[in-house]
Chain A
Amino acid sequence: MMAAIRVEYEKLVRRPALWWSAVAAAAMSIVFGYVIPYLVGTDGDAAPGSEPGEPGYSVPLETLLPEQLVENAISGFPLFYLALALVLGALTSGSEYTWRTIRSVVLWGPGRVTMLAAKSIVLVVAVVVVAVAAFAAGAASSWVIAIVENESASPPPVGEVLRGLGAAWLILAVGAVLGLAGGVLARSSGAVIGAGLVYLFVVELLLRTFVSRSEVIEVTAKALPGTNAGSLAGTFAETTEGAPGVNDLVGTGQAIAVLLAWMVVGVVVSAAVFARRDVHA
């Protein structure tokens, strides 16, 4: 098992996709978390009562300062970074089929389930890099804004940062494992990335808009990974308004439990399929 983990680790850390994901996460954190809100304008220019997207809307300056790093940084995770992790997961397994290296994995590996378990473990650990990149970029951006605006640059409590990173990691891990499972099931990455993005950005978001109208939809939505990721991120926010995907539909405990359950489902289903299915690549 250790040999398989080391091999999967080397394959992933040498793969540009992992580092591009981290760069993309950092860039999104800077651009959408700080640059655009800052350019939209802060308190001084506010039109009273305006909503996000309306003329005169303004972002409270304190949300862009280091003290609110966690709340700001994690708001992108339930949707954008979850999608990023899903893409990374799908690429990790789907490319093995595209490149036909899945044959090598099966022929040389110590066993199909062992190889898939090793790949899952490495991927789940590796997405920490993406979470850290997003938080680090957010921290740097907020510090610059604090200096420019001559505001307090005091950091948030370490415990809160660690809790935020933990939540961010869990969200990314679920996305990555589901992407990996999709890659195994579809035996490619392209189809999974397409379907996964449509699911996250359209299906789940649409479903959540009808939660208040139907109990069935509400129960369904509360079991979905995106909803629970949004609720986990929502525990760090004073308000869930304005951040896409962030919600307060379920409590923290349930969100964590459901996300972990999705992770287990992803690993078990992909392992079961991979163990039994012929390799035609």
Chain B
Amino acid sequence: MSPSTSTPDDGVAIRTSQLTRRFGDETVVDSIDLEVRRGELFGLLGPNGSGKSTTLRMLTGLIRPSSGRVDVLGKKPGTTPQRVGAVIEEPAVYPYLSGRKNLELLARLVGAGPDAVEEQLETLGLADAADRPAGGYSTGMRQRLGIAAALVHDPDLLLLDEPSAGLDPSGMVEIRELLERLAGGTRTIVVSSHLLTEIDQICDRVAVIHNGRLVFQGELDELHRGDSEELQARLRPRDAATKALDDLDIGHRDDGDGRLVIGAGPDRTPEIVRAFVDADVDVYEIGERRRSLEEAYMEVTSS
């Protein structure tokens, strides 16, 4: 199989097929089939060393796949710098140049004008520090400069590797709000992170990479729901409720947060509610159980 060729654009921003990267005997990315649709905010989840950054590097053309196929905006990776913006791992800067000059040089390479530079400096809150040498920037400022560089040419596809790394909590909120503003329309954003809450708050769809393999890809909601059908309820008194469930031969357990997890799908909700009412159980809340992303993540990565 040829490592990477181009295909016509079909509404899919990124498509990989059996994407594999080996370093010596070690397979760092193993046969990943990824599909990112145009206009979505896509999360790439996985622990450090899972293969997320290597995957992003292959998507940007920094490294080549050992085998498999990659299409980015219908082209070979790295061939359309005007349409792709990226921050891969920690942003790199020319330390002897000012933040503004760093941005101007990259903007010039992709045909963006001085107005775009000023706009990004303003948007990312770097205007006041723009004329200082970038070598003296804090990690957070460098991160913001990297994102500004990735955005300076208004790309169709934005690839961000750990965009909140090195940022303080308010900086993380700012980046999250920025990404939410940037998303939508035709722009596609792929965010790689090991911070589950970050992905949970901003992404539409996610892929989970573990030990180089894709272990989940789909809607974030789907990941929260999982395969098992369960309900969760807040009710009182607990003893009467568990007895009613025992009578229906339905399993149950505490979720550790004051709710009862009921081992039945949503289709049995009316039957269960009737049983609770008959047993004088007050039902405050009942619905399909939504796992926390942390639980879901642990489940898909351990299976």
Question: By the criterion CB–CB under 8 Å, are A4 and B109 in contact?
Answer: yes
Does A6 have its Cβ within 8 Å of any Cβ on chain B? Answer: yes
The answer to whether A107 and B93 have CB atoms under 8 Å apart is no
Any A CB within 8 A of the CB of B34: no
Contact present for A279 and B106 (CB under 8 Å): no
Which residues of chain A come closer than 8 Å to B61, judged between CB atoms?
A: 106-107
Let me know if A213 is at the binding interface, CB within 8 A. Answer: no
> Given the complex of chains A and B, what is the CA–CA distance between A3 and B62 in angstroms?
21
The stretch that binds B, out of A53-61, A63-71, A96-104, A124-132, is A96-104
Contact A11 B97 (CB under 8 A): yes
Contact pattern, B 53-92, Cβ under 8 Å of A = 1, otherwise 0: 0000100111110000000000000100100101010101
B106 CB to closest chain A CB (Å) equals 5
Chain B residue nearest to A6 (CB atoms) is B108
The answer on a CB contact under 8 Å between A278 and B111 is no
Whether the pair B96, A104 counts as a contact (CB closer than 8 A) is no
Q: Per-residue 0/1 for B109-134: is the Cβ within 8 Å of any A Cβ (1 yes, 0 no)?
A: 11100000000000000000000000
Q: Which of A14, A102, A108, A278 contacts B109 (CB 8 A)?
A: A108
Which of A3, A4, A107 gathers the greatest number of chain B CB atoms within 10 Å? Answer: A107
Contact between B101 and A10, CB atoms less than 8 A apart: yes
Residues on A with C-beta less than 8 A from B57 are: 278-279
Known: A106-B62, A107-B62, A108-B81. A7 touches B92 (CB 8 A): no
B149 near A104 (CB under 8 angstroms)?
yes
Q: Does A157 contact B (CB under 8 A)?
A: no
Q: Note all chain A residues with C-beta closer than 8 A to B84.
A: 107
A101 contacts B62, C-beta separation under 8 Å? no
A15 part of interface (Cβ distance < 8 Å): yes
Contact for B106 among A16, A102, A104, CB less than 8 A: A104
CB contacts (< 8 Å) of A101 on chain B: these are: 92-94
Interface residue A109 (Cβ < 8 Å from any Cβ of B)? yes
Most buried by B among A10, A14, A101, A108: A108
Main secondary structure of the interface of A (DSSP, over half): helix
CB-contacts of A9-31 with B (<8 A): 10-11, 14-16
In the complex, which residues of chain B have a beta carbon less than 8 angstroms from the beta carbon of A107?
60-62, 78, 81, 84, 86, 88
Q: How far is the CA of A281 from the CA of B53 in the complex (A)?
A: 12
Give the shortest distance, in Å, between A53 (CB) and chain B (any CB): 41
| Least Cβ–Cβ distance between B243 and chain A, in angstroms | 62
0/1 interface trace, chain A 21-43, chain B, CB 8 Å (1 if under): 00000000000000000000000
Instruction: Report A-chain residues with C-beta under 8 Å of the C-beta of B90.
Output: 100
CA distance A106 to B58 in the complex (A): 12
* A278 and B62 contact, CB distance less than 8 A: yes
B105 in the interface (beta carbon within 8 A): yes
Q: How far is the CB of A86 from chain B (nearest CB, A)?
A: 21
Contact between chains at B106 and A103 (CB < 8 Å): no
> Which residue of A is nearest B97, CB measured?
A14
Are the C-beta atoms of B96 and A15 separated by less than 8 Å?
Answer: yes
Band of interface residues on A: 20 to 34
- Tell me the bound Cα distance from A3 to B96 in angstroms: 21
In the bound complex, residues from chain A placing their C-beta under 8 Å from that of B88 are 103, 107
Q: How far is the CB of A35 from chain B (nearest CB, A)?
A: 31
- Chain A residue at smallest Cβ distance from B110: A108
Shortest distance from the beta carbon of A113 to any chain B beta carbon, whole Å: 12
Contacts of A278 in B (CB 8 A): 57, 62-64
Alpha-carbon gap, A202 to B96, bound state (A): 33
Report the minimum CB–CB distance from B200 to chain A (whole Å). Answer: 28
CA distance A281 to B92 in the complex (A): 9
A105 shortest CB reach to chain B, Å: 9
The answer to whether A110 has its CB under 8 Å from any CB of chain B is: yes
A280 touching B63 by the CB < 8 A rule?
Answer: yes
- The answer for the CA separation of A59 and B101 in the assembled complex, in Å, is 50
Asked if B95 lies at the interface with its beta carbon under 8 angstroms from chain A, I say yes
Complex Cα–Cα for A16 and B81 (A) = 29
Which residues from A are CB-within-8-Å of B78? 106-107
Contact A7 B62 (CB under 8 A): no
Provide the bound-state CA to CA distance between A100 and B88, in Å.
10
- A281 to B106 alpha-carbon distance, docked (Å): 18
CB neighbours of B108 from chain A (8 A):
3, 6-7
Q: Collect the chain B residues with CB atoms within 8 Å of residue A104's CB.
A: 92, 106, 149
Other-chain residue from B86, B92, B110, B149 in contact with A100 (beta carbon distance below 8 A): B92
Listed in ascending order, the chain A residues whose CB lies under 8 Å from chain B are: 3-4, 6-7, 10-11, 14-16, 99-104, 106-110, 278-281
Chain B residues at the A interface, C-beta cutoff of 8 Å: 57, 60-64, 78, 81, 84, 86, 88, 90, 92-97, 101, 105-106, 108-111, 149
Which 10 A-B residue pairs are closest in the complex by CB-CB distance? A100-B92, A278-B63, A279-B62, A108-B109, A101-B92, A108-B106, A7-B105, A108-B81, A107-B86, A108-B110
Q: List 15 A-B contacts (CB under 8 A).
A: A3-B109, A3-B111, A7-B108, A11-B94, A14-B97, A16-B96, A99-B92, A99-B95, A100-B92, A103-B88, A103-B92, A108-B106, A108-B149, A109-B109, A110-B109
Apart from A11-B97, A278-B63, list 18 A-B contacts with CB within 8 A.
Answer: A3-B108, A4-B109, A10-B105, A11-B94, A14-B101, A99-B93, A99-B94, A99-B95, A101-B93, A104-B92, A107-B61, A107-B62, A107-B78, A107-B86, A107-B88, A108-B81, A110-B81, A278-B64
